Amino acid sequence: MANQLSQLDQVFAALADPTRRAIVMRLCAGEASVGELAEPFDMALPSFMKHIHVLELSGLVQSEKSGRVRTCRLSPDALLSAEDWFQHQRAIWEARLDRFEAYVMKLKKERAAARPPSKTNKTTNNKPSKRKGT
């Protein structure tokens, strides 16, 4: 379990950076060389490679070198731990919200029961009007 949390921490840390999220989004369209991935970013290649390294450590990206070209591809299995975590959190919060809704409905019913009944028969005032001509 601790190893799974460590993997989850690495995935979230990797996705916390907008450059790395952009790389992951680009790799959703298919594999690409590091040069192709780095092209839209205004940074030196060694700095860009640090982003690739973080993505590889998290398991989100795999790369392979062929000659002078390093090609990267997305490894979506790393997102399974994050998906499981989100589903677990959703279940917790949905249960909490369901309990909160039931509590609010109970309070509404209690307030409605505690109110005195409203008078439906209003008595009319038979005093003469103070307006002229009436």
Give tens-digit pLDDT for 33-53.
Answer: 999 999 999 999 999 999 999
The average pLDDT across 86-115 equals 93
The pLDDT-based confidence of 13 (bands split at 50, 70, 90) is very high
Could you tell me the end-to-end alpha-carbon distance of the chain, in angstroms, rounded to an integer?
88
Model confidence at 119, pLDDT cuts 50, 70, 90, reads low
Beta bridge partners of 90: none
Half-sphere exposure (Cβ direction) of 17: Cα atoms closer than 13 Å: 15
Tokens encoding 68: 């002078």
Q: Which two three-digit tokens encode residue 134?
A: 């009436």
Burial of residue 56 (CB within 10 Å: 0-12, 13-18, 19+) is middle
- pLDDT tens for each residue of 50-89: 999 999 999 999 999 999 999 999 998 888 888 999 999 9
Q: DSSP assignment, residue 78?
A: G
Is residue 73 helix, strand or coil?
A: strand
Quick one: pLDDT at residue 68? 93
Give the model's confidence band at 114: pLDDT under 50 very low, under 70 low, under 90 confident, else very high: confident
pLDDT at 25: 95
**DSSP-derived secondary structure letter, 69:** E
pTM greater than 0.75 (yes/no): no
Q: 65: closest CA among 41, 28, 25, 35?
A: 35
The answer to whether the CB of 58 falls within 8 A of the CB of 69 is no
Tell me the angle at which helices 2-15 and 45-58 cross, rounded to the nearest 10 degrees. 150
